[in-house]
Structure 1
Amino acid sequence: MKSLLSRRGSVLDNAPSFLVRQKMHSPDRFPTHEIDADDDPKDEKLPAAPSPTRVTPLRPAGVPVQSSTRQLQAAQIAEIEWLVQQGSLSTFREFESFGYSASLLFYPRDLTYYAVLYHEGDVWRVLKAGDIDAAEPAFRHFIEQAMRFAEAEMRRAHLEAQNEQFSRLIAESEAQIERVRVDLNRGSEHDQEVALKQQEVRKTLAQLEGRRVAAQAQLNKLRRQAHQLDTTVNESVPHLPSLR
């Protein structure tokens, strides 16, 4: 028994440091049992079960755990431009409206997220964070800014389209009015031409009618004269008896 106890002490003295620390914090207690020389091994009782070993946590109790999430902070434009040029960023999300856009980028090497706001393709503002939960609100904030800035552009594009539509309708209306005016002018010219022609025709008709009346009167006069001459000639013819 003494040899067993001495062997146990030598084993603990040569154990690794983290086991020794565990022994100091929570020492194991082996059950003690006195063995008499006259005791029969058959009557020996089984030793009691050892108490469960306590597991030491990675962080000791009482020490506050530091959050792995880095706070949102501003980043230099040159920094994000250099990372983009090197092709080191992964695009998680994008938004674009007219000349304004926003991107949520990820730098795998440093586990860093970048929320970037662009204007006309150039980097305008940059925010970075070490956690997606901190970077996404910044990205949504840039989206709201881009939408607000682009709202005027949307209104401008809509008004330009409306003005172009009105200009086209005005041009079509003016062209239609011009065609109607041309038709009216042409119709008026034809009306004048027809009126002059009708006037000339009526004048000619009047002249022809006068000539007809004069010719008819002259013809009637000549007929009367011829009838009178025929009557005078017939009166000079003697009345001879007829032969039977």
Structure 2
Amino acid sequence: MKSILNRRSAALSGGPSRLLAVAHDAAAQRALSRDAATADADPANAAHAPAESVVDIESRTEPSASAAMPADGGPRPVSTLHAVPVMPAHLNGRPVQIADGAAFEALAAGEELMTFRVYRCFAYSVSLFFHPPTLGYYVALHQESILWRALKANDLDAAGSAFHLMQEQATRLADGEARRAQLIAQNAELTRLIEESEAQAERLRVDLQRHADQEQTVTGRQHQVRKEVAQLEAQRIAAQAQLNKAHRSLHQLKVATSEGVPHLRGR
């Protein structure tokens, strides 16, 4: 120990003298004791090993000792510890708390909340409220007008972020409802088109049946007309022959009658 102190005094004799604060904690004492024990155990190695000053020991045991000391050499001030409030949840770095459902419904029933924004999607609705007495904001998610979730924020930005997240959640929850409504409308449209197509096809079948029946009726009528025409034509021919025969008989009678009349010559 004396040899170490003598070496330190010799190293400092060439420069200006200054007062150094020596750490007297347990770590420095243990380091000094360890070095002294090593020197006593192996004097040869201690003679060849480089001398280690108390400052080196202090820097080894306290790496930030020089930085910890203030510029004026006085004691370093210790900052006072303060209790840090723990928030139940955070949203984009802004504090957002889970609100008491009963307290929120009491405020809503007492008409103490001002509505800032409302988003509705099928059975889900998201609302952003402002509570003037406490300068607080509430974001509530309702399903079928029943409160599902409520959040409380201290500033409008945090409340707006919570509102947008709940809006996206409500939209995702309502995706099935939207798809169901679309499918119901599409099925109703397809049913209507099927009914119209079937009705049009039925009308076409009725028209075709009516045309077929009418064609059959016309065909039968034409056959009957042709038959009657043939009969009338035969009757006409027979009547014409009878008329010709009557004309011949009449002519013969006229001729016979003319033969019995004397022939008179003109003057």
- Structures share fold, TM-score greater than 0.5: yes
Distance in 2 separating the partners of 1:154 and 1:110: 38
* Structure 2 SS opposite 1:101: strand
* Structure 1 SS opposite 2:108: helix
CA gap of 1:224–1:128, structure 2 versus 1, over 3 A, is same
Match of 1:123 in 2: 147
Match of 1:19 in 2: none
CA apart distance, 1:68: 9.0
Picking from 217, 221, 224, the partner of 2:241 is: 217
Distance in 1 separating the partners of 2:125 and 2:86: 26
CA gap of 1:217–1:129, structure 2 versus 1, over 3 A, is same
Distance in 2 separating the partners of 1:108 and 1:230: 138
Distance in 2 separating the partners of 1:166 and 1:111: 54
What is the percentage of aligned positions where both structures have the same residue? 46
CA gap of 1:69–1:112, structure 2 versus 1, over 3 A, is farther
- Unaligned 5+ runs, structure 2: 1-77, 88-94
CA apart distance, 1:222: 3.4
The amino acid that maps onto 1:151 is D
Distance in 2 separating the partners of 1:238 and 1:92: 137
CA gap of 1:94–1:67, structure 2 versus 1, over 3 A, is farther
Structure 1, 134-143 or 176-185: larger mean CA deviation:
176-185
Asked if residue 187 in structure 1 is aligned to residue 211 in structure 2, the reply is yes
CA apart distance, 1:149: 1.3
Asked if residue 132 in structure 1 is aligned to residue 156 in structure 2, the reply is yes
What do the CA deviations read for 1:178-215 (whole angstroms, capped 9, x no partner)?
33333333333333332222222211111111111112
Match of 1:78 in 2: 102
Match of 2:199 in 1: 175
Q: How many residues align?
A: 183
Distance in 1 separating the partners of 2:200 and 2:252: 76
CA apart distance, 1:229: 5.0
The amino acid that maps onto 2:148 is W
Match of 2:121 in 1: 97
Picking from 227, 240, 246, the partner of 1:203 is: 227
Match of 2:71 in 1: none
The TM-score normalised by the length of structure 2 is 0.57
What do the CA deviations read for 1:139-162 (whole angstroms, capped 9, x no partner)?
211111011112222222222222
Match of 1:50 in 2: none
The amino acid that maps onto 1:124 is W
The TM-score normalised by the length of structure 1 is 0.62
Please, what is the CA RMSD of the aligned residues? 3.1
The amino acid that maps onto 2:196 is E
Distance in 2 separating the partners of 1:241 and 1:109: 154
- Unaligned 5+ runs, structure 1: 1-60
What do the CA deviations read for 1:7-51 (whole angstroms, capped 9, x no partner)?
xxxxxxxxxxxxxxxxxxxxxxxxxxxxxxxxxxxxxxxxxxxxx
